[in-house]
Amino acid sequence: MLSPHPRVLSKDEELGKRDDDFRPKRTSSIGFIDPRRWRKRRVLLMLVVVGVLWLVLRSVPADLGTGVGRLVKERSSIRGEPTGAPPRGEQDAEDEERKKQYYNGPIKFFRLATSLHAISKTMGMRAVNRNVLFAAASLRSVANLMPMACEMARWDRNYVHLALMGRNTMSLDEVLEINGVTKEGCQVTFHDARADYSEYSSDLRLEIAVAGAMKHVNDFMHPQAIIMDDSVVEVPAFTRALRVKGKALGRPVIEIPKDGYERFLWLTRLDAGSLGSWFKPRIDVLVHAPKGSSGSLVRMLKSFERADYEGLKTPRLTVELPSEIEPFAKSFLRDMRWPLEVEGGSESGSGLTLTHRIPTEHLSSEQASLRFLESFYPSDGNTHVLVLSAQVELDRQYLHYIHYTILEHHYSMYSTPQAGNLLGVALDIPQRSLNGSTAFVPPTISSTRAPELPAGTKADPDDPAPFLYQGSSASATLIFGLKWAEFHSYLSNRIAASHTGKAIKSRKLVSETEPAWLEYLLELIRARGWYTLYPAMKFVTVHDELAQVPEEFTREVEAGQKGAETLRQNDHPEEEAFLIADEAPMMPKRDEGKLGGAGKPLHEMLPFDGDLPELAKLPLLSYTGEIVNETTLAGQRVAFEIYFREYIGGCDAEDAARPRVVRPEVALDLFCLPDAEAEYAETAEDVEESIANILGSLRERPSAPEFAVLPHGLPGVGGSGTATVEKAGAATATAD
Ligand SMILES: *[C@@H]1O[C@H](CO)[C@@H](O)[C@H](O)[C@H]1NC(C)=O
Ligand SMILES: *[C@@H]1O[C@H](CO)[C@@H](O)[C@H](O)[C@H]1NC(C)=O
Q: Spell out the domain ranges in the chain.
A: 27-59, 102-276, 282-620, 627-731
pLDDT at 407: 96
φ, ψ at 70 (rounded to 5°) = -90, 135
Query: In this model, does residue 714 exceed pLDDT 60?
Result: no
Query: In this model, does residue 204 exceed pLDDT 70?
Result: yes
Query: In this model, does residue 567 exceed pLDDT 70?
Result: no
Q: Indicate whether residue 433 lines ligand 1 (CB < 6 A).
A: yes
From the candidate CATH numbers 3.40.50.720, 3.40.50.300, 3.40.50.2000, 3.50.30.50, the one assigned to the domain spanning 102-276 = 3.40.50.2000
**What is the 724 CA–ligand 1 centroid distance (Å)?**
48
Specify the ligand 2 atom closest to the Cα of 628.
2
Q: Indicate whether residue 625 lines ligand 1 (CB < 6 A).
A: yes
**What DSSP state is assigned to residue 726?**
B
Per-residue pLDDT band for 708 (boundaries 50, 70, 90) equals very low
pLDDT digits (tens, 9 = 90+) for 385-410: 999 999 999 999 999 999 999 999 99
Query: In this model, does residue 572 exceed pLDDT 80?
Result: no
Mean pLDDT throughout 621-633? 94
**In angstroms, what CA-CA distances link 278 with 242, 699, 719?**
16, 13, 9
Per-residue pLDDT band for 163 (boundaries 50, 70, 90) equals very high
For the full predicted model, state whether its pTM sits above 0.85. no
pLDDT digits (tens, 9 = 90+) for 532-563: 999 999 999 988 776 777 877 776 654 444 33
Mean pLDDT of all residues belonging to the chain: 79
Q: Indicate whether residue 632 lines ligand 2 (CB < 6 A).
A: yes
Per-residue pLDDT band for 364 (boundaries 50, 70, 90) equals confident
pLDDT at 75: 47
% of the chain with per-residue pLDDT over 90: 46
Query: In this model, does residue 255 exceed pLDDT 50?
Result: yes
**What is the 67 CA–ligand 2 centroid distance (Å)?**
62
% of the chain with per-residue pLDDT over 70: 74
| Nearest one of 611, 549, 614 to 580, comparing CA atoms | 549
Could you say which ligand is closest to the alpha carbon of residue 627? 2
Per-residue pLDDT band for 598 (boundaries 50, 70, 90) equals low
CATH 3.90.550.10 fits 282-620, yes or no: yes
Sign of CA dihedral 194, 199, 205, 207: positive
Which is it for strands 620-621 and 627-628: parallel, antiparallel or unpaired? Answer: antiparallel
- Give, using CA atoms, the residue closest to atom 14 of ligand 2: 629
Ligand 1, from 431, 435, 578, 579: best to mutate by most atoms within 8 Å of Cβ?
435
Please state, in angstroms and rounded to a whole number, the distance separating the CA atoms of residues 546 and 226: 47
pLDDT at 21: 37
Query: In this model, does residue 172 exceed pLDDT 80?
Result: yes
pLDDT digits (tens, 9 = 90+) for 365-378: 888 999 999 989 99
The three state secondary structure string of 246-271 is HHHHCCCEEEECCCCCCCCHHHHHCC
More confident residue, 714 or 361: 361
Please state, in angstroms and rounded to a whole number, the distance separating the CA atoms of residues 301 and 297: 6
Mean pLDDT throughout 462-471? 92
Specify the ligand 1 atom closest to the Cα of 437.
1
pLDDT at 663: 84
Per-residue pLDDT band for 699 (boundaries 50, 70, 90) equals very low
pLDDT at 94: 53
